[in-house]
Every structure is written in structure tokens, then in C-alpha cells.
């Protein structure tokens, strides 16, 4: 049986949860959340990401990197 990526993480993640999921520093998580290509959800002053959007973004980055390596 295939397990879902980040199955134990909440559906909406903040910087702290991104650090746990991706094993990044807090600064690294905030850098991602500030990246214009990253699927950031802004609610008030908070920057969040939907778990499914994070997974889709990670997959798109992996495919992009693989395509660049082939060229």
C-alpha cells in the first residue's frame, strides 16, 4: 500500500510545520514562503501553504530539475 506524502501533517501548514516536513531551517521555510513561485496562502499576516499544493510544488520542482539535467 502506498503511503501519502506527509500524511501526518495538517492540511494547512505554517513555517514551523514546513521546517518539520522538509527538514529545513526556519529561515529556509520563510525563504520558500517568500518565493514568488511557491504556492503561498496569505491569511492576514500569516503565510501558509496547503499540504496538497506543497506536494504538487515539490513534484513539479523534481520534474523540472530532472528535465534540466537531461539537457
Q: How much is the pTM? A: 0.79
Q: What is residue 39's DSSP assignment?
A: -
Residue 9 is classified by DSSP as S
Q: CA 71 to CA 58: how far, in whole Å? A: 20
- pLDDT tops 60 at residue 71: no
pLDDT at 1 over 90: no
pLDDT digits (tens, 9 = 90+) for 6-50: 889 999 999 999 999 999 999 999 999 999 999 999 999 999 999
Encode 8-46 in three state secondary structure.
CCCCEECHHHHHHHHCCCHHHHHHHHHCCCCCCEEECCE
Amino acid at each position: 500500500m502506498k503511503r501519502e506524502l506527509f500524511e501526518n501533517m495538517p492540511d494547512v501548514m505554517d513555517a514551523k510545520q514546513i521546517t518539520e516536513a522538509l527538514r529545513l531551517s526556519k529561515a529556509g521555510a520563510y525563504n520558500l514562503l517568500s518565493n514568488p513561485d511557491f504556492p503561498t496562502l496569505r491569511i492576514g499576516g500569516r503565510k501558509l501553504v496547503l499540504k496538497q499544493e506543497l506536494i504538487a510544488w515539490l513534484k513539479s520542482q523534481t520534474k523540472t530539475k530532472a528535465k534540466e539535467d537531461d539537457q
